[in-house]
């Protein structure tokens, strides 16, 4: 009788469970054991694709993006093109929801015929001047400029409450459903990039570090337009992202299935995936547990050459120069681009004031939401 009761409780949990998994959910040993347990669910391509479909659906449903909201015109604002060495930078804002603007910079190569696309979300690193966060950081500008010099159209944008968004009064934790808005913003950024004249829809990269890597993995999992994913300093079997923008909504434990960041990263298979890891954070165990798990999944497709791990045992939690070099190597190899053009010495750093979209000459539109006001999603997204 007790066994029947336990089984019934387990079935009830599987049918309706939803819970948050945030931050350091397991110890490293428990994370490895969880990966082994998840691996029992799929031993071939068909079984993995069934699980991947659940993960994709679970992220969208958990983030209240199922069905997807209606896509209105983006109301694109573009100005202040700055010609540089082999590329240019423009200041761009996208109205991803009525009155809610995503601020960013578009990096375009000089040659714009069949441009690969690269989306570059940023992590949570802070500086003394909050206005210098996000897309204005030196490592962000280096990465975006080098990819543009290689021939990619690149977009870097502010997370809510960082960079220009912070200057406009927004707070990163202004709303408990910030994950929903971050993921939707990334989808709309991809809409914008895919519509650029000369864009190559067959070559679409998303890459970021830390919280930016979490968003990169989630976008690659839910939007099959992404054809290459490079998450840096984030993929872990036991750390799930500690910020609400990463894990503040129930996307890991869903009715009928449980998943983790490693599986979410793998949903992009068999498209190219490079996991960049280091010894200074929760990615220290990637070579021992995460990467073999990913190799097994890619093996179901006969595409083991499409997944790689660049591990830096002495590295720390960042998207440092050596990690960016690994990114350029991977992109150049898979997309047949000129690797020599990724020389960061040719990238010019630009002052934040010159990268901002809204200033005296380009004021914030009157229809813009006031800071920290929850946006209106409409019926398609389930409302607020």
The two structure tokens encoding residue 39:
């691996």
CA angle at 246 for the pair 245 and 252, rounded to the nearest 5°? 130
Q: Are 207 and 334 in contact (CB under 8 A)?
A: no
How far is it, in rounded angstroms, from Cα 195 to Cα 66? 23
CB atoms < 10 A from the CB of 151, how many? 25
Return the closest-CA partner of residue 203 out of 157, 265, 158, 150: 150
Domains plus CATH for the chain?
77-355 (3.40.50.1820)
CB atoms within 10 A of CB 85: 13
- Rounded to two decimals, the pTM is 0.93
pLDDT tens string, the chain, 384 residues long: the values are 334 333 333 433 444 568 899 999 999 999 999 999 999 999 999 999 999 999 999 999 999 999 999 999 999 999 999 999 999 999 999 999 999 999 999 999 999 999 999 999 999 987 655 457 889 999 999 999 999 999 999 999 999 999 999 999 999 999 999 999 999 999 999 999 999 999 999 999 999 999 999 999 999 999 999 999 999 999 999 999 999 999 999 999 999 999 999 999 999 999 999 999 999 999 999 999 999 999 999 999 999 999 999 999 999 999 999 999 999 999 999 999 999 999 999 999 999 999 999 999 999 999 999 999 999 997 433 333
CA 364, chain centre distance (Å): 26
Structure tokens at 160: 């809510």
CA atoms lying within 13 Å on the CB side of residue 79: 11
Tell me the HSE value of 370 on the side-chain side, using a 13 A CA sphere.
1
């Amino acid at each position: 009788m007790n066994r029947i009761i336990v089984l019934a409780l387990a079935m009830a949990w599987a049918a309706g469970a939803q819970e948050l998994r945030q931050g350091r959910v397991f110890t490293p040993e428990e994370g490895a054991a969880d990966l082994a347990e998840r691996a029992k669910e799929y031993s071939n391509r068909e079984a993995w694709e069934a699980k991947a479909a659940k993960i994709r659906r679970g992220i969208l449903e958990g983030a209240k993006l199922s069905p997807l909201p209606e896509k209105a015109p983006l109301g694109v604002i573009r100005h202040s093109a700055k010609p540089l060495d082999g590329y240019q930078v423009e200041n761009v804002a996208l109205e991803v929801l009525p009155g809610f603007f995503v601020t960013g910079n578009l990096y375009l190569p000089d040659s714009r015929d069949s441009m690969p696309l690269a989306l570059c979300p940023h992590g949570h690193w802070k500086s003394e001047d909050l206005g210098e966060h996000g897309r204005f950081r030196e490592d962000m500008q280096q990465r975006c400029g080098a990819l543009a010099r290689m021939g990619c159209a690149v977009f870097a944008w502010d997370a809510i409450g960082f960079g220009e968004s912070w200057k406009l009064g927004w707070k990163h934790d202004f709303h408990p459903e910030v994950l929903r808005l971050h993921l939707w913003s990334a989808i709309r950024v991809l809409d914008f990039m895919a519509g650029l004249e000369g864009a190559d829809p067959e070559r679409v990269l998303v890459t970021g570090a830390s919280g930016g890597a979490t968003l990169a993995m989630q976008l690659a999992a839910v939007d099959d337009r992404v054809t290459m994913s490079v998450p840096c300093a984030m993929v872990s079997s036991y750390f799930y992202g500690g910020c609400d923008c990463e894990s503040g909504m129930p996307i890991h434990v869903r009715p009928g299935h449980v998943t983790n960041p490693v599986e979410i990263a793998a949903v992009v298979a068999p498209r190219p995936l490079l996991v960049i890891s280091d010894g200074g954070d929760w990615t220290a165990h990637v070579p021992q547990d995460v990467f073999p798990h990913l190799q097994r999944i890619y093996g179901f497709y006969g595409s083991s050459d499409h997944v790689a791990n660049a591990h830096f045992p002495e590295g720390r939690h960042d998207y440092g120069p050596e990690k960016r070099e690994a990114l350029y190597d991977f992109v150049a190899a898979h997309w047949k681009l000129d690797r020599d053009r990724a020389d960061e010495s040719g990238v010019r750093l630009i002052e934040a004031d010159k990268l901002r979209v809204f200033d005296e000459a380009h004021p914030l539109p009157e229809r813009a939401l006031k800071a920290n006001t929850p946006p209106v999603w409409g019926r398609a997204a389930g409302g607020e």
